[in-house]
Amino acid sequence: MKTKRGKFKTFAMAGLIAAAASVSQAQSYFNAGDFINGWSGPQGSQMYGGPAIYTNVVTGGTPGTYEQLKVTDGTWNNSWPDSNLQIDFDTSGTNTIYFIPGIFADGWFPTANRVGYDNPGNVWEVSGDFTSPNWGDDAGAQMTADGSGVLSVSYVIPAAGTYSFKFKTAGTWNGAIGTDFGMNAANISVTTVNANETLLFKLDLPNGRFQIFPVVTNRVVFAVDMSSQIKIGRFHPGSSVFVSGDFNNWAGTGAGALALTNYPPYNGGSNTNIYYGTNTFIGFPNSPGPAYKFTDNDPGQPPDDNGYEQVNNRTFNLLAANGVLLLPVVNFGNYDVTDSDYLPEDTAVLFSVDMNGASGIDNHAFDPVNDSVYINGQFANYNGQFGSWYPWSGTAPAGYQMIEQGLTMIYTNTIIMPAGTPVGLEYKYGMDPFRANGGPLDDEAGFQANHFRVVRSTALNPYPMPTDTFGNQYREPFFSATSTGGGNLNVGKPVSGKVPVNWLGRPGAHLQVETDLSSGTWQNIIATDGTNWTSGYSSTNGFVSQTNWPASSKAFFRLVKP
C-alpha cells in the first residue's frame, strides 16, 4: 500500500474541529501555506465570493512544482482539508483555489467543507490495490476529461473485495488525493460484491470532490416495426434498416450505423416486418442511454430526411443491473402510429370551404369572379413522395382545385385518398389571385397553421368533412394512443329501454362493453369500428357515431384502438 508523501503541517491545538464539521457561511475565509505566507499565520491571503463558493487566485508559484496550503476561517481552529491540499501551477505560475463550505448529501466525498482547485493540464489516474501494477508510480487507470474540471475512468475489478486507492497525477505522487481531498489523507476505500464489476471513478477538481459509481453493462436490443412503412409504400424488400445516434456519431445509413435484421423474428414472434439489432452500453444504473433514431436506405423515403425517421430523438434508461434490455417494438417514423392509423382502403373524401368574406394573410380579399381556390395537404403525395405537399405559388397538380357550388361561396372537391393515407389529415387552402399561377399561394394562415380533420368512417362514400371556414384552422379531436380523450365517448340516460351511446369514431377504433368491472371480460363490439359503422349524425367535429344499447342490465363502455 502506498504511504502518504510530502510535507504535512500539523497543529496540536486544543479544541481542533474535525474536517467534517459544518462551518458558518457568514464570515471570511483565507488561504495559508508554503508559498503564500510560509505558514506564518492563518490569514495569509483572503478568499472572495460566497456564501456558496469562495475563490482565491494565487500567483507567484513555480510551474511544475507542488506546494501545500489550507483554507482557514482566520484561525487555526477551523482549517481544511485536515491533511493539507497540495497543488501545482500553470505555465504562468498561477492556480485558483475554491472553497465550498457546508455539509453535503449529494453522494460525493468529502461530505463537508470542500477545497478544490484548477488542473493546470496534468494527466490524472487512479492507482491502488486493484490497478496493475499495484500502487505503481508510473502506471494506473488513466482518466479522461469530461469538461468543467471533471475527470473520469471506468475500470473492471476482477475479484470481489475491499480495495484502497488514491487519485494522482501521472508519474508522481505529489498532489495525490485521499479521503479528505488532501494529499496526506488516508487512502480511499471501495468495495465490490461481484467478480468483474465495473466501477466509474469521477474526480471533480474545482469542486473538491470525488465519487465512485457502480456501473452496469447492458446488451440493448433495438426493435422497429416497418409494417406501416411497407403498407404506405415507403419501405420495400431489399432495403435496410439501421440505428443511428450519439453512440455511433449519428452515422445515418453509412459506415458505423447499427444494421438491423428481420430474421429470425424479434422475441420469438412471427412478424418478419420487425427489424432488430443489439449494442452494448455501459453506464450508471437506471441512467438515460444515448439519443438515437432509426434510419433506412429505401428510396421511397422523402429526399430531405437522409434516411432518418421524422420524429424527435428516442432514448432509453439502462437497467439497474447487468443484463439484456429488450426495448419495446416501436413504429418507424412515429412513436404511436400503428397500422390502424392509416386508411385500410381507397377512400373518397369530400372537402368543402366557405369563402364568404375570405381574406388572405396578405390582405387580398377573395374575388369569386377573378380568383380560384385550391386545397393542398399531405395527401397530395407530390412527385410520388408519400406525405408530401405540392409546392405553393406554382401550378397545382390536377384534381386539387375547389369548385363553387352555384353562387353559394361554398367550394367543394372530392379527393380519393389511397390506402395507407393517415386517418387524420393535415391540409390547407390557398387562393390564386386573378388566376395568375394556376395554383395557390400559401395565404390562408401562417406556417404549419393547418386544418386537421379525421376520416371517421370509410363506409360513407364519400366521407363528408365538415365545411371549413377559410382562415379558421380548426383541429378536430382525434382518438389515439396519446389522446385517449379524443374519442369524446358519452353515455346518456336510458330512454324507452335504450341507453344512447355516442362517440367520435375512426377506422381502427371500436366500442367495448362490460357488465361488471370487478370481474368478467370486456366484449368487443366490432361492428362499431369506423371501417363499417354508418349510424350517427354530423357535427363540427365530423361524423358522430351513435348506437342505442338495451337498458335491461348494467353496462359500462369504453373506446379502444388495438
Q: What tens digit of pLDDT does each residue of 226-264 get?
A: 887 887 777 888 899 999 999 999 999 999 999 999 877
Any domain includes 148: yes
User: What band does 9 get if pLDDT is binned at 50, 70 and 90?
Assistant: very low
Any domain includes 474: no
At 445, the amino acid letter reads A
Give the N- to C-terminal CA distance of the chain in Å, as an integer: 64
Who contacts 325 (Cβ-Cβ below 8 Å, separation ≥6)? Answer: 218, 219, 220, 221, 316, 318, 319
By the 10 Å C-beta count (0-12 exposed, 13-18 middle, 19+ buried), 359 is classed as middle
Residues 53 and 105 grouped into a single domain? yes
Tell me how far apart the alpha carbons of residues 530 and 562 are, in angstroms, rounded to a whole number: 13
User: What band does 26 get if pLDDT is binned at 50, 70 and 90?
Assistant: low
Residues 268 and 382 grouped into a single domain? no
Mean pLDDT of 192-201: 88
Tell me how far apart the alpha carbons of residues 364 and 305 are, in angstroms, rounded to a whole number: 35
Q: What is the pLDDT of residue 1?
A: 38
Mean pLDDT of 76-103: 96
Tell me how far apart the alpha carbons of residues 231 and 345 are, in angstroms, rounded to a whole number: 11
Q: What is the pLDDT of residue 322?
A: 86
Q: Is 44 left (phi over 0), alpha (psi -120 to 50) or beta?
A: alpha
Tell me how far apart the alpha carbons of residues 365 and 409 are, in angstroms, rounded to a whole number: 13
Question: What is the enclosing helix (H) or strand (E) of 377?
Answer: strand 372-377
C-alpha distance from residue 513 to each of 254, 496, 516 (Å): 50, 20, 10
Of 175 and 355, more confident: 355
Any domain includes 119: yes
Mean pLDDT of 265-277: 83
The proportion of the chain whose per-residue pLDDT surpasses 90, expressed as a percent, equals 70
pLDDT at residue 414 is higher than 60 = yes
Tell me how far apart the alpha carbons of residues 462 and 54 are, in angstroms, rounded to a whole number: 74
C-alpha distance from residue 188 to each of 2, 128, 184, 217 (Å): 12, 9, 12, 25
Cell representation of residue 501: 351511446
CATH of the domain at 546: 2.60.40
Across the chain, what does the average pLDDT equal?
89
Backbone torsions φ then ψ of 267, nearest 5 degrees: 55, 30
Residues 142 and 256 grouped into a single domain? no
Q: Reduced to 3 states, what is the DSSP secondary structure of residue 201?
A: strand
* DSSP state letters, 160-175: -EEEEEEEEETT--TT
Domain end (from 287, 305, 335):
335
Residues 405 and 490 grouped into a single domain? no
Any domain includes 11: yes
Any domain includes 475: no
Any domain includes 477: no
Mean pLDDT of 51-67: 94
Domain end (from 469, 504, 522):
469
* DSSP state letters, 405-468: -TTSSEEEEEEEEPTTSBSEEEEEEEEEGGG-SSS--S-SSSTT--EEEE---TTSSSEEPPPE
Q: What is the pLDDT of residue 167?
A: 96
The winner for highest mean pLDDT among 16-30, 399-413, 479-493 is 399-413
pLDDT at residue 165 is higher than 70 = yes
Q: What is the pLDDT of residue 417?
A: 93
Tell me how far apart the alpha carbons of residues 510 and 560 are, in angstroms, rounded to a whole number: 6
Q: What is the pLDDT of residue 241?
A: 96
Domain end (from 308, 335, 362):
335
Mean pLDDT of 268-288: 88
Residues 450 and 386 grouped into a single domain? yes
Q: What is the pLDDT of residue 337?
A: 61
275 within 8 A of 260, measured Cβ to Cβ: yes
Q: What is the pLDDT of residue 303?
A: 55
Residues 89 and 145 grouped into a single domain? yes
Any domain includes 382: yes
Cell representation of residue 295: 434510419
Count other C-beta atoms under 10 Å from residue 148's C-beta.
9
Q: What is the pLDDT of residue 17?
A: 27
User: What band does 537 get if pLDDT is binned at 50, 70 and 90?
Assistant: very high
Q: What is the pLDDT of residue 171?
A: 87
CATH of the domain at 428: 2.60.40.10
User: What band does 304 get if pLDDT is binned at 50, 70 and 90?
Assistant: low
Tell me how far apart the alpha carbons of residues 371 and 262 are, in angstroms, rounded to a whole number: 53
Mean pLDDT of 449-456: 97
Residues 142 and 105 grouped into a single domain? yes
Q: What is the pLDDT of residue 68?
A: 96
Mean pLDDT of 207-219: 92
pLDDT at residue 15 is higher than 80 = no
Of 151 and 384, more confident: 151
Tell me how far apart the alpha carbons of residues 41 and 23 are, in angstroms, rounded to a whole number: 20
Backbone torsions φ then ψ of 430, nearest 5 degrees: -155, 150
By the 10 Å C-beta count (0-12 exposed, 13-18 middle, 19+ buried), 506 is classed as buried
Q: What is the pLDDT of residue 551?
A: 86
Q: How many domains does the chain have?
A: 4
Mean pLDDT of 193-210: 92
Mean pLDDT of 301-309: 71
Q: What is the pLDDT of residue 2?
A: 37
Lowest-pLDDT range of 151-160, 306-315, 380-389: 380-389
Tell me how far apart the alpha carbons of residues 400 and 382 are, in angstroms, rounded to a whole number: 12
Who contacts 391 (Cβ-Cβ below 8 Å, separation ≥6)? Answer: 382, 439
Mean pLDDT of 161-180: 93
Residues 198 and 234 grouped into a single domain? no
Q: What is the pLDDT of residue 77?
A: 95
Any domain includes 31: yes
Task: Determine the structural domain holding residue 306 and report its residue range.
Answer: 217-335
Spatial CA neighbour of 203 closest among 155, 166, 150, 148: 150
462 within 8 A of 414, measured Cβ to Cβ: yes
Mean pLDDT of 146-154: 91
Residues 330 and 351 grouped into a single domain? no
Residues 496 and 514 grouped into a single domain? yes
User: What band does 138 get if pLDDT is binned at 50, 70 and 90?
Assistant: low
Residues 65 and 194 grouped into a single domain? yes
Residues 417 and 289 grouped into a single domain? no
Q: What is the pLDDT of residue 25?
A: 44
Torsion of CA 455, 458, 463, 467, to 10 degrees: -20
559 within 8 A of 509, measured Cβ to Cβ: yes
Who contacts 67 (Cβ-Cβ below 8 Å, separation ≥6)? Answer: 33, 34, 35, 61, 86, 87, 88
Of 335 and 141, more confident: 141
